[in-house]
Structure 1
Amino acid sequence: SDPPPGWVAPYAPSLTTGKPTTCSTSLPAYPAYLANDGYRGNTNSYWAMDVGGGDPAGWQVDLEEATTKGRVIVVCYYGDKRYYGFTVETSLDEKNWKTVTDRRENKEPSTAQGYTCKFAPHKARYIRVNQTHNSANTGRHLVEVMAYEK
């Protein structure tokens, strides 16, 4: 399929770049595909939603085929000293999910380098990030989610 309007060649491509995304919900100006457009250095381009203190925010990418991955980098909004709690899950079939990273208790400030999540390499087609909290407000923000084999 064609990339979204305005999409340009990424400078930090990964297994997720340009792949189809879904999310629990999003704010109109911050759609899900902005979290895997290849631009982790742009804090004006990200997926966002406001949970208002409710359930965790879910963002998911379909890699369109099962590939081996052992590292996911989660880049949350980093324009200040805020931090985010989150989990990372993988799945082959979108039904059975495996939690590969649990950082719900994270207090480390978000940066442009993101949170590197390493785990035993395995095949998966889907990657899901659930943000559980944001130290600054009730918003949830993903600047970029990247996946690599190692």
Structure 2
Amino acid sequence: MRAGSEVHRSRIAPPFTPAPYNVALNKPTIAQSAQSSSAPALAVDSDPTNASYWGADPAPQWWQVDLQGSCTIDSIIVTNYVDGTRSYQYEVQASTDNVNWTTIATKNSTSKATSTGDTHPVNTTARYLRVNMTGNSANSGVHIADFKAIGISAP
């Protein structure tokens, strides 16, 4: 090596892995029906309070979000209307084509709704997620105050 010359070594960066995030936030939603001031989009507005929720009556009712692309989902968090006494039952389904659905989480217990919601660990790839609300212990209406799908967008 001559004096003054430098050796340059290239480094190969490790592959970048994005951090999981709420891939459902503010994405398009639809529902079987909705109460007058409880639009489907209110379930993905990141406001888990009782002031902002999707509601429909009577159960059973479904609510759905389009993730606008294939996503790898690690967990689902469903927060229902919270009053300290009511419990909800539902199943969460995933689809890549909005035709064929697979159940990925179920809540059929009578545990009370809490402000932190119900976390369901999952391992699925989906573009569409649907919640089939089947019951509310307080009345015939069903409510989702907040819905989160924690994952990453597929490449």
User: Shared topology, TM-score over 0.5?
Assistant: yes
Aligned position for 2:114:
111
Aligned position for 2:145:
143
Aligned position for 1:47:
54
1:76 is aligned, of 80, 83, 93, to: 80
Structure 2 gap ranges (5+): 1-20
Deviation at 1:149, TM superposition (A): 2.0
Q: Could you list the runs of 4 or more consecutive aligned residues of structure 1 that deviate by over 6 angstroms after TM superposition? A: none
Structure 1 gap ranges (5+): 1-12
Q: Deviations over 1:33-82 (max 9, x none)?
A: 00000111x2111001111xxx5210000000001002000000012310
Q: Distance in 2 between matches of 1:94 and 1:19?
A: 15
The size of the alignment, in residue pairs, is 132
Q: Aligned to 2:42, what secondary structure does the other structure show?
A: helix
Aligned position for 2:71:
67
C-alpha contact (below 8 Å) 1:14/1:38 kept by paired residues: no
C-alpha contact (below 8 Å) 2:25/2:45 kept by paired residues: yes
Q: Distance in 1 between matches of 2:124 and 2:51?
A: 33
Aligned position for 2:135:
133
Of the structure 1 ranges 19-28 and 76-85, higher mean CA displacement relative to structure 2 is found in: 76-85
Please report the TM-score for the alignment, with normalisation by the length of structure 2. Answer: 0.82
Q: Distance in 1 between matches of 2:124 and 2:84?
A: 34
- Equivalent pairs: percent with the same residue? 34
C-alpha contact (below 8 Å) 1:74/1:146 kept by paired residues: yes
